[in-house]
């Protein structure tokens, strides 16, 4: 069952699967992460949402950024802590309440688990957490509305139009760009993805 603000079954899946899930990929740059980091100044404060096993945080730390990794699964946060050798905050997206605290927010393949009706509120929290001009990058599996994969994880599966509406409702963005791509997932299914780059 999905609550208003998060899906307990999805977080329970990641908790139970933390060790094998975290082992699925290496800590190395991706075209999306590398492109994001080149737009930031040295030492920029980056909030990472849904950091999973900490692979992207490890790349950002190694590149000299001031990273705050977070995840809603205590099990994955613990695995990420071991990888990073630093604390990882256990925080659900709907618990974010920082104000103008970050130069950037990195949310790779994680806000796709936010219940459709709660997505605008979470995006508004991200907007509030950014300084003016701050960057925000997130990725979503595209579709035509919420549902579950074969592993029981909930996804919001937005269309480009519904995703844009959720962002626009969350606050004014000076830049809002959508890039379509395709890719796989832990369930082995190839899907269409939407990458969203926003600037406050
Ligand atoms: N960003 C990581 C990566 O790219 O490897 C992990 C992506 S994984 C598909 C989704 C992550 O979002 C998991 O680490 C999961 O624990 C986290 N997550 C799911 N729902 C969440 C919620 N409501 N609040 C915070 N984290 C959540």
In a domain, 2, yes or no: no
Please answer whether residues 14 and 75 qualify as being in contact, where contact means their C-beta atoms are separated by less than 8 angstroms: yes
Domain count, the chain: 1
Residues of the chain predicted below pLDDT 70: 1-3
Q: Supply the residue whose CA is at minimum distance from atom 16 of ligand 1.
A: 73
Secondary structure E strands in 72-110: 89-90, 102-107
What's the CA-to-centroid distance between 93 and ligand 1, angstroms? 9
pLDDT at 164: 98
Is there an atom of ligand 1 within 6 Å of 115 CB? no
In a domain, 61, yes or no: yes
Q: 56-103: per-residue pLDDT in tens?
A: 999 999 999 999 999 999 999 999 999 999 999 999 999 999 999 999
pLDDT at 2: 52
- pTM comes to 0.97
In a domain, 74, yes or no: yes
pLDDT at 3: 55
What's the CA-to-centroid distance between 50 and ligand 1, angstroms? 4
Which H or E element spans position 131? strand 130-141
Which residues, including other chains, have CB under 8 Å from residue 22's CB and lie 6 or more apart?
52, 53, 54, 76, 79, 80, 83
Is there an atom of ligand 1 within 6 Å of 167 CB? no
In a domain, 141, yes or no: yes
CA Rg, the chain, in Å?
15
């Amino acid at each position: 069952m999905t609550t208003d603000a998060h899906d307990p079954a999805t977080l329970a899946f990641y908790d139970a699967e933390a060790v094998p899930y975290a082992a699925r990929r290496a800590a190395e740059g991706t075209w999306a992460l590398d492109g994001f980091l080149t737009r930031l100044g040295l030492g920029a404060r980056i909030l990472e949402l849904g950091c999973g096993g900490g692979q992207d945080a490890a790349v950002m730390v190694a590149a000299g950024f001031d990273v705050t990794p977070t995840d809603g699964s205590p099990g994955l946060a613990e695995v990420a802590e071991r990888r990073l050798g630093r604390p990882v905050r256990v925080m659900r997206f709907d618990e974010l309440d920082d104000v103008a605290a970050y130069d950037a927010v990195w949310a790779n393949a994680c806000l796709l688990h936010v219940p459709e009706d709660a997505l605008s509120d979470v995006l508004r929290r991200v907007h509030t957490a950014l300084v003016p001009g701050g960057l925000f990058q997130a990725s979503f599996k595209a579709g035509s509305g919420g549902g579950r994969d074969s592993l029981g994880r909930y996804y919001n599966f937005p269309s480009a139009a519904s995703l844009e509406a959720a962002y626009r409702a969350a606050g004014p963005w000076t830049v809002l760009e959508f890039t379509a791509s395709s890719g796989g997932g832990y369930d082995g299914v190839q899907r269409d993805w939407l990458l969203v780059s926003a600037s406050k």
